[in-house]
Amino acid sequence: MGLAAATVLLVLAVALWLRRDGVEPSPPRVTESGPPAAVARPHSPLAPPAPAPAARVPVPSAPSVDALSAALHEERVSLASSVRVEGIDMDRAWVCAGETIHLSARVGGAPEPGMVSRWVWPVSGGGAELQPGPTLQWRAPMAAGTYRVRFQVCTDLGGRRVGVLAEREVEIDVRACGRGEQQRHDPLRLGLTQRGQGTFSFQAVYQGPARVTVYAWDFGDGSTTTTTEPTVEHTYSLQGLGAQELKSFTVRLQARLDRGGPLEATVFALARGQPPAEAPPPVELRISRWRPNSDGGWRSEVVVRAPEKTDITWERLERISVHWDGEADFATRDWREVIHVEEHLEHGGFRGYVKVSPAEASTDIKQILDSLYGHDATGKEVVVSWSPFKREAPAQSPEAPAPPPLK
């Protein structure tokens, strides 16, 4: 069964949910190793009317965990641990074929040294895709059907051996959608923008004939509030969050209308702990301001120098494209696809340039953020970030439309 790999994010993932007249969907089916736990899902949403019957991909028998390990060229070792997957949050109960759905895992128990989280799922030909981190932006294949994605908490045992501390599998319902059923037609969307360390601005985008009387916000950390405006800011406590450790918060919004039922939307805010102020940076970064490239895109010169006492291996680059309305798109790519290395320096450093294609810098994009991920010789994660492109806000009259085209 064909699958398209999805991307995931440094700072947050932007997502959608809605309520329309219809019948409440069944919750996603989840299986796990360890004690059972309820799967969280959006607050009592109502699914849109089911699309016309269409050919669906039969649900195959779930691939064994050993088969997934073989596809990843790993030797799986199940370990006894207090770590547990408490649940998997989804921003919607089902997704249209070819569109994205966002997932976020909640992990409990005492943290284990060196534990990491990841998502894995089978692809055609007996292979498997892998995405690290507690959140996942998964793009549905074009064929309707039921697809399985597995979340794991693991630790490296050396060589090909991977210790699995906890895991859980979720089934995703992919539907063949008709006109007007795609995500862009949702009456309520929820976006976010990170303003500082642990501080996020949330923006509700509503389209519909009724008037919104109240926006009710649940920030996923026990805090709630109501506003009459479609924007709100919230700061999360990062106490106890280790350096570079990620924590995902499930944010739910309910828009109450002056007529008709309320609408709902969900988004995941991804916060990252920072090292103490006195800690030296893991690498030295120098990057030039972006400048036009001959192909119509943009280019920035970049130099990364690694410290002498360690060797750094780079793994992937996460690119976040921020739209003018605050929404963001996430993409994870092989770092060499984005960074063109012209000279290799010592200990994993390099000199080269970063490119942004004309398509990536389209007129609806306000800024692009890159994060380069790797690890040092001890296995500790190393992250370095920069912005390879930013479009200045145009000076325009209230009647003027969106930003000017890129020159």
Contacts by 47-52, CB closer than 8 A, 24 or more apart: 47/20, 47/22, 47/23, 47/93, 47/94, 48/18, 48/20, 48/22, 48/181, 49/20, 49/21, 49/22, 50/22, 50/175, 51/175, 51/176, 51/177, 51/178, 51/181, 52/178
Beta bridge partners of 234: 200
For 163-219, how does the pLDDT look when each residue is reduced to its tens digit (9 = 90+)? 999 999 999 999 999 888 888 788 998 888 877 778 899 999 898 899 999 999 999
Residue 134: exposure state from Cβ atoms within 10 A (0-12, 13-18, ≥19) = buried
Spatial CA neighbour of 392 closest among 288, 289, 318: 289
Q: Are 138 and 6 in contact (CB under 8 A)?
A: yes
For 102-146, how does the pLDDT look when each residue is reduced to its tens digit (9 = 90+)? 999 999 998 888 888 999 998 878 888 888 888 888 989 999 999
The predicted structure's pLDDT at residue 214:
95
For 257-295, how does the pLDDT look when each residue is reduced to its tens digit (9 = 90+)? 999 889 999 998 888 776 666 566 778 899 998 888 888
Spatial CA neighbour of 192 closest among 181, 184, 204: 204
Phi, psi of 80 (to 5 degrees): -75, 130
The predicted structure's pLDDT at residue 395:
52
Distance, C-alpha 405 to centroid of its chain: 28
For 46-81, how does the pLDDT look when each residue is reduced to its tens digit (9 = 90+)? 334 444 444 444 444 456 778 888 888 899 999 999
Alpha carbons 129 and 68: distance in angstroms, whole number: 9
Spatial CA neighbour of 40 closest among 132, 120, 106, 108: 106
- pLDDT-above-70 percentage for the chain: 78
Residue 27 has pLDDT above 80, yes or no: no
Residue showing tokens 């370990």: 79
User: Cα angle vertex 183, ends 179, 189, to 5°?
Assistant: 140
Q: Are 341 and 347 in contact (CB under 8 A)?
A: no
The predicted structure's pLDDT at residue 163:
93
